[in-house]
Amino acid sequence: MENTPLDSTLGKASGVRRIIAATRYSMQGLVRLWREQAFRHEVYAFCAGLALFAIVGAAAIDYFIFLILMLLLFCVEALNTAIEELVDRISPEISTVGRHAKDLGSFAVFCMLTANGLFVLYVLAKTFFRLH
């Protein structure tokens, strides 16, 4: 048997086809995540934050940091949703381990929400009290 890459033996796409497939999977994940009310609220909060930054005249770097923080929040929310789905699929009965996994995912989202909220408060304080 000749040496072939693992991807080719499993029938996985490579090159541009792999990028297209990965993009399709990501969009499917986004569509799934949009069904989560918490994610929709986070997207609305992102839009409200952008509007608030425009109203107070936030600096470009503030927008950039806010964008990065929100993308991280969206990532953590997606991972939390994945954890919840896996726990529900693997262990539909109530279990301590399943509850802990879900609680840990929820805590990760809470940490990111807190980081985002603190940053928005910082930008507002910096703007209103002329802190630099």
CB-CB contact of 38 with 109 (8 Å): yes
Query: What is the C-alpha to C-alpha distance for residues 95 and 88, in angstroms, rounded to an integer?
Result: 10
CB-CB contact of 103 with 83 (8 Å): no
CB-CB contact of 70 with 41 (8 Å): no
Q: Is 36 marked active-site?
A: no
> How far are the Cα atoms of 6, 34, 54, 96 from residue 127, in angstroms, in the given order?
54, 33, 11, 46
Q: Of residues 2, 42, 77, 84, which has the active-site annotation?
A: 77
Residues constituting the chain = 132
Q: Which residue has the tokens 């600096």?
A: 59
Per-residue tokens: 111: 């940490």
| Catalytic residue numbers, as ranges | 77
